[in-house]
Each structure stands twice: as C-alpha cells, then as structure tokens.
Chains A and B, each alone.
Chain A
Amino acid sequence: MTFSLFIEQLLNGVQLGVMLFLMAAGLTLVFGIMNLINLAHGSLYMAGAFFAATVFQISGSFLLAVPIAVALTALVGGVVERAVLRQFYARSHLDQVLVTFGLILVFNDAVRLIWGVVPVPLAPPEALAGSVHLFGGVDYPAFRLAILGVGALVALGLYFVVSHTRIGMWIRAGASNRPMASALGVDVELVFSLVFSAGAGLAGLAGLMAGPITAVQVGMGEPILILALVVTVIGGIGSIRGAFVAALMIGVGDTFGRVLLPPALGSMAIFMLMAAILAWRPKGLFPVHG
C-alpha cells in the first residue's frame, strides 16, 4: 500500500466514522439519559434521506433540503416520543425493544406507501458532485469531504453544548443520575423531549448526508443501526465523547479490515474489536454511569 493510498483509505475510514458518529450521538444520549433502547433510530435516518430527496426534487436546492429535512425528522422524532415512547421509559428493555422494532415495521411500510418500493434518486449538489485533487495525487470525492466537515462541526457543536451550557449540564446530570437530577429541579420530561428530538434530527442529518452516496430506499436504516449500536456500546452508553472515539475506531477499523483481511475476516473485524474492548472494559471506553 502506497502512502497516498494509505491516506485515502484513512480519509475513507474517518468519513465512515463521522457518519456513524452522527447516528450514534442520538442513540447514546437517548439510551444513556432515558434508559430507552430505540431500535427505530435507523428509521429516522431513513426519514431524513427521504425528506431531503423530496425537498431537493421540488426545490432543486440541496442547501434548502438540509435544514428542512433535519427539522422534519426532529418533528417526527418528537411526535413518536410523545405519542408512543413516553409510555415505555419505565418498562423493561425487552418491552422497549419490541415496541421500537414494531416502529421499524410501521416506518418502513409508511415510507413504502408514500414513496413506493423503487429507491428514490438523491444526487449530491452540483458544486460537490465531482472529486477534489488533494496532495500526493489523491483524488477524493468532494461530497465525502463535505460529510467529514459536517461531522466535525456537529461533533464540536455537541461538545460545546454538552460541556459548556446549562442544557448540557442537565443532560450530563440526567445521564449520570436521573433521580437526583430530577430531585434537584431539572425538568426531566422537557430534557427527554429535547434530547430525543435532537437525536432524531442528527439521525436525519446522517441519513440525508448518506443519501447521495448510497441508495435511498426502504430499510436503509437497519444496516447502519447495527454499526451505530456497536459504536454506542464500545464508547460507553450515554457518553458523547465515547461515541466519537468509538465511531472513528469502527470507521477506520472497518475500512482497513475490509482492505487488508480476507473477506470473511474483514467483515468480522469490528465485532472482534468490540468483543476485545468489552472484555477489557465491560462498560465501554468512557462509562458514564458510575
């Protein structure tokens, strides 16, 4: 492997990691703070991509599609939280898994009813459609660089919000000790709603950024959900920092595993990594709950 190829693959790995982080950030907060396993997180990812495809088709502007699709996905997330999931915070994890799995089926069929079975087109915006000439003779798709940039911005933004704002303090308090945070006067219900909607919006953002490079189709959220769950568990449930580090590890590990190892082993690489890390630190890299 030449140096420029190594750099290109590293970029690919980091870019996959950033995508996974967008998915895992919402998942880990919801899991950590509300103690809710939300398997339907992948459905919100799918919703984001479909909303963006429709807005892009109507308006012709990707820049317009981004905020509208994120807002719509956050809205869908908020409605689902209020109408369904709120009843399940106090229930067992098995009940939560069952109801959110049911939601996956409902979302998939709703999308099939609205958009049909044929995958819908979503092209990158004109300005980002080609590839960019980087150092060392590496041509890299411009849209993938955009994903990298958006992911880095979101990570910085989340870091700022969680570590340096009052809402972030509530979130951290809720994540490490819910009853105590509630007793100290934090409006836990409001925090839950905000966090769930924000997580949904991030999943929608991940979905719409993935749209131009993958197929926008029914069920597109499930494969990425599995990877996002792996990231959440490795990073330590409830930890944004853990999700970021784990997402980059999984992204880079998966990319190099696929390239360097034989096929059967390559697709197992990240799961072996997860097993090794959990054997070493059973609560993940950055455990939140003491």
Chain B
Amino acid sequence: MKLTIRAIAFAGAATSALLATIPAQAQAPLKIGFVTSLSGPEGVIGRDLLDAFNLALKDGGNTMGGRPVQVVTGDDQVKPDVGRQVVDKMLDSDKVDILTGINFSNVLLAVVKPIMDSGKFYISPNAGPSQLAGKQCNAHLFSVGFQNDNNFEGLGKYLKEKGLKKIYFLAPNYPAGKDMLTGFKRYFGEPMQSEVFTAMGQLDYSAEIAQLRAAKPDAVVMFYPGGMGINFVKQYAQAGLMSQIPLYTGPGTVDQTTLGAIGDAAVGMYTGAMWSEFLDNAASKKFAADFEAAYNRIPSQYAAQAYDTGHILQSAVDAVGGKIDDKAAFRKALENVKFDSVRGHFKFNTNHFPIQDYYLVQVEKDSKGRLVSSLREKIMSDLADAYSGDCAMPAQ
C-alpha cells in the first residue's frame, strides 16, 4: 500500500515536471507525412522526391512559421491499397498535419478521400490526374507538378507546328497513360496513326516495336515511366530506330532517374518537360548546384517538383505564422503563394493546379561525358489545364 502511494506520488511529480517543460517549448512541431514509392524499381523516384523535399526544408532551417518541422515517411510500394494503409496510419496514429509525396496517379486517387475527409491538406509533388483537376477538385488539394495532360499538350502543339502527320502513340494501360494521350490529341488535333496501350510493368517491347517499324510513322510519342522506359528505349535503339524515327516522350521516362541505366542509347531523344537543369533562373541554378553538392548526382524533374513543393509549404506556413488549423487562411496563403520557383514563374489556377511554361529538351552528353537533358525551346507559355472549367471549387 505504502509502495503504491509512493508510486502515485512519483508519477504525479514526474507528470508535473513534464507539464512544466511544455511552455518552455516554443510551439508544437509541424508533422508532414511524406508518402511515396521507396521500395522496388520505382524506389528511385521516391528517393529523388524525398531528397529534394528535405533539401528545400533545409533552406528554411527545418522550421516553418516558427514550428520545427518533422517529416514522417511512408512507402506506398506503388500499390493503391498499400498507399491507403500508410495514409490511414499517418492520419490516425502519427497525427500528421499535412500530407505530400505521392508519385503515381493511381495511388493518389485511392487516398484522396480519406485525406480530404480528415480535413488535412494534400500537396501533390507529382501525380496530377485529370479527375482531381476537374469535377473532383478539392479545396484542400494542391498539385505542384503538372496536370498529367500538360507535358503532352506541349508536345502535341510542337509536332503539329512541325507539320508531322503520322504519330504512333504508346503508353501503359493506366490513368496517367490515358491522360497523356488525351493531352497530346487536344493540341495535335488529328487522330493518331495508332494508339497502343500495353500492360503495366511490361518487360519486352519487341512485338510492339516490330509493328511500329512496319507502320513507318513520322514520329513515335510514348510515355513509359521508370523501368518500362528503360526497357523500351534500349530496345528501340537496338532495333536501329533511334536514327530513323524520332522518339518523343513526357515526364519521368528519360530523365536522371533512368538515363544512367539506358546509357548512350538515349542520346537524341526528345522530352516535353516543365523544367530542365539548364533553365536560366537563379532559383533553378541554386537548386541544381545544392542538390548535386548534397547528393552527388544531377536532380531529375521529380526532384525539381518536390523542391518547389517544399518551398511552397515553407512560404504558406510562414505566411500564417504556423497556424495551419485556420484552414481558410492557410488555403488562401497557398492559393496566393509567393516563392522563387525553379521553373521561373509559377502560379496556381482556380482548380489548384499549376499555370506554367513547357519546354522541349533533348538528351545529350555534357562536357564531363554525363547524359543530360539540354534545353531546346519553349513549346508552351502559361499553359493552364483543360479541366479547370469543370471544377466548382468549394468555398470550404
């Protein structure tokens, strides 16, 4: 009995000692949940996103609006169901304040509802499915990368202006693949010579490449992110087609996450992109230099997007003095965010998707013999996506 009383007394003393320390701490930490693909072949994308996001946080001294920042990471394994579990855990047990990080559209579409139901904000560094830009737009969802159609809208306009007629299109059979084709056709304005959708994760494209060679197109436009792109480009080059039929692609296919593995086979390929490491602005140059100094490799477009995501959060949370629980104020701060984008100029449209420029870049070797995406020309100015008209942005 005596022992119990002493135990309670001790517990009481300990608790009050703990309580006494709380006022000394300036403010509760801001917990950011970063869900991305960290394992498997797509782990390389998640790593670039997370590294660049952390680099941006470092620029702000790992403090936002006076609150220390704590990043909680989770691995979605590129599986919508796993992503859902990770998000549920972050919301229920980690009690994160803001979520970000997802690279694949199918994963994002699976987790939007629980995040929005919880009232938290989601800032998308990469995935930009058309659904979320249009009818299912949301007051608490912001997309920093692009709307999926955008890069291919730029390519469509460019190839139309070049006067090409026969376009052979290939992509994996999933939401982003469909979005890219829709975007391309919107600005190209004419039917494709052929539209081929292949299984997700396909290894061998010899059959598809034989078909397209026989069709003799003016250009091949394809979207194969990650390992699929490595397979396709290697096999396209080995079939001797790289010098015969120009090959165009969009985000995440031929960039610093895959160029090392594709090797010289990729030289000469074109990509529609919203960022290149050669963009001539101070923020971009600082980012490219800092990233290479910190991680000893050239950043990809993914990294550029995540870096901007970090700076957007920094600026918006600073603007509300860390009080993100005032949701209307925080949303307003995000909508009117002012920051130095690596893309030169950037702003959010009414549907919380970007309005920005797009460029044509081409793979070549730099003076150190490394494969880089050199800037060729601007192909779109201040492009807004086609879905913002369908978005009736809720007031809350």
Q: Which residue numbers of A lie inside 8 Å of B, CB to CB? A: 2, 5, 8-9, 12-13, 15-16, 108, 112, 117-121, 123-124, 129-131, 139, 141, 143-144, 210, 212-220, 223-224, 255-256, 258-259, 263-264, 266-267
Contact = CB atoms under 8 A, between A and B. Distances in A.
A141 B265 CA distance: 14
A12 B198 contact: no
B163 interface: no
Given A120-B261, A218-B41, A144 B206 contact: yes
Contacts, number: 115
Contacts of A16: 204, 206
Interface of B: 39-41, 43-44, 47, 173, 196-199, 201, 203-204, 206-208, 210-211, 213-214, 227, 230-231, 234-235, 238-240, 257-258, 260-265
B295 to A, nearest CB: 11
Nearest to A141: B238
Given A108-B39, A119-B41, A219-B40, 14 more contacts: A8-B210, A16-B204, A117-B47, A119-B260, A120-B260, A121-B261, A124-B238, A130-B238, A131-B238, A131-B240, A213-B204, A215-B231, A256-B207, A259-B211
Contacts of A123: 263-265
Given A119-B260, A267-B199, A214 B234 contact: yes
Contact of A9 (B196, B210, B258): B210
Contacts of A214: 203-204, 227, 230-231, 234
A8 B296 CA distance: 43
A117 B261 CA distance: 11
B254 to A, nearest CB: 13
Contacts of B234: 212-215
Nearest to B38: A117
A266 B199 CA distance: 9
A258 to B, nearest CB: 5
Given A213-B234, A215-B41, A217-B41, A259 B207 contact: yes
Nearest to B258: A119
Contacts of A218: 40-41, 43
Contacts of B44: 117-119
| Residue of B203, B264, B265 most packed against chain A (CB within 10 A) | B203
Contacts of A9: 207, 210-211
Contacts of B230: 119, 214-215, 217
A255 B207 contact: yes
A217 B201 contact: no
B203 A223 contact: yes
A118 B261 contact: yes
Contact of B239 (A112, A131, A224): A131
A-B interface, 6 closest residue pairs, ranked by CB to CB distance from nearest: A119-B261, A215-B230, A12-B206, A267-B199, A215-B227, A141-B238
Given A139-B240, A141-B239, A263 B231 contact: no
A175 B211 CA distance: 42
A143 B41 contact: no
A12 B207 contact: yes
B361 to A, nearest CB: 20
Contacts of B173: 263-264
A217 B261 contact: yes
A130 B240 contact: yes
A258 B207 contact: yes
Nearest to A121: B263
Contacts of B231: 213-215
A130 B227 CA distance: 22
Contacts of A220: 41, 227
A257 to B, nearest CB: 9
Contacts of A2: 214
A220 B228 CA distance: 11
B206 A15 contact: yes
Nearest to B227: A215
A5 B216 CA distance: 13
A126 to B, nearest CB: 12
Contacts of A119: 41, 44, 227, 230, 258, 260-261
A17 to B, nearest CB: 11
A212 B239 CA distance: 13
13 contacts: A2-B214, A117-B43, A119-B230, A119-B258, A121-B261, A124-B238, A131-B239, A210-B203, A213-B234, A213-B235, A215-B41, A217-B227, A258-B198
Given A217-B227, A217-B261, A255 B199 contact: no
B244 to A, nearest CB: 10
A218 B227 CA distance: 10
B356 to A, nearest CB: 28
A130 B211 CA distance: 19
Contact of A216 (B196, B198, B206, B261): B261
A217 B260 CA distance: 12
A266 B47 CA distance: 34
B363 to A, nearest CB: 14
Contacts of B257: 118
A217 B230 CA distance: 10
A258 B257 CA distance: 28
Contacts of A130: 238, 240
B207 A139 contact: no
